[in-house]
Amino acid sequence: MSERIALIGAGAMGGAIGTRLLETGNELAVFDLDAEKVAVLVEKGAVAAASASVAASEADFVITSLNAAHIVDRAVFGAGGISEGARPGTVIIDMSSIAPDATRDLAERAAEKGLMWVDSPLSGGAPKALTGDLTLMAGGEAEAVEKAHRALRHVASNYTHMGPPGAGQTTKLINQVLCGLGFLAVAEATQLALDAGVDAEKIPQALKGGRADSALLQEYLPRFATKDYRRTGRIDNMVKDLNAVQDLARATGTSMPMTALCAEVHRMLTAAGLGGEDQAAVMEFFSGAKEEITG
């Protein structure tokens, strides 16, 4: 069934989500400050909106895909924001990765305006969004989470209600601990294979089905081995998420020494000018950061 959806934020992730929503027959209004990003989705059938408020005015669901809590706040509650145009009962689905405490505050303020809030950060990146195979971890009231699935079923094959507002974001931080450490482990293993003269590109098949196998191994070890740095994510976004993990760990008194080391490696790569590169560029930690990466 077709849904009326507004998309606020049409970057790499938002653009992939929007593309999938259009391909599955939904009506999509889109707003982004970057007109070129909007134009890409308009060419695929979306309608460009003059503001987030206008985009939300005819939608049953409003999806936000933005980079930071203060940007989400401005997009929802600022001048020309979602809350100005959205009708009571509209479900705001925040697919950004932001701190759980910020999410709880946003959800409370949305409820005061008669709007439902679901935090639904994702795992799988743009490639999985395009095939409808994202993993989503949702936080919010049960009614809102169930209703949001009408829109999110088009982009996700795994959708789990984790608890009240903020629970989805907390689960995403746990996901990022596992991914961040996993990227480093696979990168180290790749470099060892290369230095030892083993055909690194055969390793995913050799280890398939064993205890060391994982989605990260299968997708990224070949890319690490060939330094395939096509952008499907950003190192500096991992830094943002790992910073949030460490904030949560301090608040809960949780000791996370390996995560601290992982965060430092990612900060070093960002300081070396690689923050905007894909996670595959973690390989530069082993060879020294380049001034420029091509490919």
Residue type, 131: T
Active site residues per annotation: 172
Phi, psi dihedral angles at 263 (to 5 degrees): -65, -40
Outline where DSSP puts E strands in 32-143: 47-48, 61-64, 91-94, 116-119, 122-123, 134-139
Sort strands 134-139 and 122-123 into parallel, antiparallel or unpaired.
antiparallel
The strand pairing partners of 122, in sequence order, are: 136
What is the spatial distance between Cα 121 and Cα 136, in angstroms, rounded to a whole number? Answer: 6
What is the spatial distance between Cα 228 and Cα 281, in angstroms, rounded to a whole number? Answer: 8
8 Å CB contact between 102 and 110: no
What is the spatial distance between Cα 145 and Cα 136, in angstroms, rounded to a whole number? Answer: 11
The strand pairing partners of 6, in sequence order, are: 29, 62
Q: Is 212 helix (H, G, I), strand (E, B) or coil?
A: coil
Measured CA angle at 48 (ends 81, 94), to 5 deg? 45
What is the spatial distance between Cα 12 and Cα 15, in angstroms, rounded to a whole number? Answer: 5
Residue type, 82: I
